[in-house]
């Protein structure tokens, strides 16, 4: 049996989702993967970092989080006010990084990831900021320290996009990527295609928890842009800066434009795209996030609601489309779990 000591930094929706899966799938992990995971440390912003040498009790942690009580109420823990200090002092085999995405400087996630890799920990992450802004640097750091950095959950949550690209379709040459990579905007555009108003649907999406109180990151296309940068790095090995991606959100899509598209047998979708502009390995990429009217013959046009989808164009496979969830507690936890299992298999 392989024993992994795990640290989870960021214990919100996703961190808790992973913890819940570790409890629910404990027997499966042992029986099918010969893997036993001990959660030794957890951190959030409000209560800092807690550590227990013999392992934290996950149901106790989940109950504390649900009641918004301090995580330090868990019995028998050592406490650090700061996650980075706690991680450096205690270590472990693997870090699950699930703090909030920040596209300005990728903090605090990038410091957590750098610290973990440098001290020889594998990293799995759902946090888009560090990979969007510094994928090449962090992957090189992982290589230098002989550990893995995996990021399945950053693009379409647990739907296997990145592993399909790098492992399932290994050896195929990627020519282009087009995707619906943000569930909130797809939910809004799908409802608008059925005749609803942007403002009404946004308010409904906020009430149902699909959209944030401040929806800017979604509706202005920044979330899709972050995923586009990650796909450029993973799929094409090319680092793009955010300003190299043409970005237009959905706030300017009018009811009239939507009606005209539907009349023409089309659907307007927020499409993130990457296109190699020449056929050479190091060719620059054209990267765009924008609302486009797609004919119904396009597989992306029929993907509605909060679902996400991505179409890869490859030399050997022509087109491959993957459709699935792009967010959610267990859906994103699943992406981290799959990466954790992948690390355990090879580590
Ligand atoms: N939610 C999804 O469906 C989804 C899907 C794909 C990817 N992601 C990505 O996954 C990450 C987590 O998302 P989420 O929905 O779980 O967000 P969330 O609920 O806001 O949780 C973020 C967690 O990070 C903690 N945190 C913030 N700063 C910290 C610091 N300096 N040290 C330690 N902990 C810190 C927060 O602490 P407090 O609890 O004290 O505020 C919170 O527990 C984000 O990067 C997000 O973009 C989310």
pLDDT digits (tens, 9 = 90+) for 241-258: 999 999 999 999 999 999
Per-residue pLDDT at 314 = 96
Average pLDDT, the chain: 96
| Ligand 1 binding pocket mutation candidate from 14, 18, 104, 212 (most atoms within 8 A of CB) | 14
Closest ligand 1 atom to Cα of 327: 3
Helix 109-118, helix 128-144: angle, nearest 10: 10
- Dihedral sign, Cα of residue 240, residue 340, residue 221, residue 296: positive
The residues carrying an active-site annotation are 227
Dihedrals φ, ψ of 339, to 5°? -65, -40
Q: Are 28 and 34 within 8 A, CB to CB?
A: no
Which residues contact ligand 1 via a Cβ below 6 A? 9-15, 43-46, 83, 98-101, 108, 126-128, 153, 157, 327-328, 332
Average pLDDT over residues 110-129: 98
Provide the pLDDT for residue 279.
58
Q: How far is the CA of 99 from the centre of ligand 1 (A)?
A: 4
Least Cα distance to 53 among 97, 89, 106 occurs for 89
pLDDT digits (tens, 9 = 90+) for 20-40: 999 999 999 999 999 999 999
Task: Report the pLDDT averaged over residues 197-221.
Answer: 92
Tell how far the Cα of 159 is from the centroid of ligand 1, in angstroms: 19
Q: Which two tokens stand for residue 247?
A: 């970005």
Nearest CA to 97 among 178, 8, 21?
8
Q: Which domains occur in the chain, in start order?
A: 2-159+329-346 (3.40.50.720), 166-324 (3.30.360.10)
Higher pLDDT, 213 or 11: 11
pLDDT of residue 44: 98
Distance 285 CA to ligand 1 centre (A): 30
* 277 — pLDDT class (breaks 50, 70, 90): confident
Instruction: For residue 12, report the distance from its CA to the centre of ligand 1, in Å.
Output: 5
């Amino acid at each position: 049996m392989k024993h992994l000591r795990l640290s989870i930094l960021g214990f919100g929706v996703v961190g808790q989702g992973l913890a819940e899966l570790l409890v629910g799938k404990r027997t499966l992990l042992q029986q099918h993967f010969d893997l036993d995971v001990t959660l030794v440390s957890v951190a959030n912003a409000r209560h800092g970092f807690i550590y227990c040498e013999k392992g934290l009790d996950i149901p106790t942690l989940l109950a504390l989080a649900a009641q918004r009580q301090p995580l330090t109420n868990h019995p028998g823990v050592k406490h650090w006010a700061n996650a980075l200090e706690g991680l450096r002092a205690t270590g472990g085999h693997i870090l699950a990084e699930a703090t909030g995405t920040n596209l300005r400087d990728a903090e605090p996630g990038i410091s957590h990831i750098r610290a973990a890799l440098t001290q020889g920990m594998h990293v799995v992450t759902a946090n888009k900021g560090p990979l969007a802004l510094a994928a090449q640097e962090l992957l090189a750091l992982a290589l230098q320290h002989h550990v893995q950095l995996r990021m399945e959950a950053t693009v379409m949550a647990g739907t296997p996009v990145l592993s399909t690209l790098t492992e399932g379709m290994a050896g195929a040459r990627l020519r282009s990527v087009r995707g619906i990579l943000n569930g909130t905007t797809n939910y809004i555009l799908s409802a608008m295609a059925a005749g609803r108003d942007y403002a009404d649907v946004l308010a409904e999406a906020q009430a149902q928890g699909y959209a944030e109180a401040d929806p800017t990151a979604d509706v202005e296309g920044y979330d899709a842009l972050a995923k586009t940068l990650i796909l450029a790095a993973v799929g094409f090995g090319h680092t793009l800066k955010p300003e190299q991606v043409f970005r237009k959100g959905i706030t300017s899509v009018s009811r009239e434009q939507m009606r005209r598209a539907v009349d023409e047998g089309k659907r307007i979708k927020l499409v993130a795209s990457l296109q190699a502009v020449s056929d050479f390995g190091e060719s620059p990429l054209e990267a765009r996030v924008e609302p486009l009217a797609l004919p119904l013959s396009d597989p992306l046009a029929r993907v509605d609601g909060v679902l996400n989808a991505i179409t890869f164009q490859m030399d050997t496979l022509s087109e491959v489309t993957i459709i699935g969830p792009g967010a959610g507690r267990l859906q994103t936890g699943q992406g981290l779990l799959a990466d954790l299992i992948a690390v355990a298999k090879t580590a």
